[in-house]
Every structure is written in C-alpha cells, then in structure tokens.
Amino acid sequence: MVKEKAIPHLNATKRPNADQINESREAEVLKTVSYIEIIPILVEAVKSQQIELESKNY
C-alpha cells in the first residue's frame, strides 16, 4: 500500500468520463502527477540535502 501526500496542484485522482465507462473500466481510477510543477520542490530538496552533506564533511 502506498501512502500519498496530498498536494492538490501536483497530484490528482481522476475517474473516467461517463461516456468512457464500461463494465471493465467502472472501478478504474487514474493518478496523475504534474512533473513541471514538482521540479522546484525537487531542486530545493537537493539543495537542502547538499548543504546537510557539506556540513557533515567538515
């Protein structure tokens, strides 16, 4: 089981449109991620990690 952190503008849960639903897709749920919007968060995480690593080396 995967726990998700809900960051509304970065990830979303989508269900098929009513016209796309058939018996095999009735329970289908799509998970999406906005990779463009997650880049600044990842960059800051790497910067923070680098600072922590450099402080441990001294």
DSSP 6-46: --TTTEEEE---GGG--GGGTT--EEEE-HHHHHHHHHHHH
Angle at 48 between CA 34 and CA 46, to 5 degrees: 45
pLDDT category of residue 54 using cuts at 50, 70 and 90: very high
This prediction's pTM: 0.54
pLDDT score recorded for residue 45:
93
Average pLDDT, the chain: 77
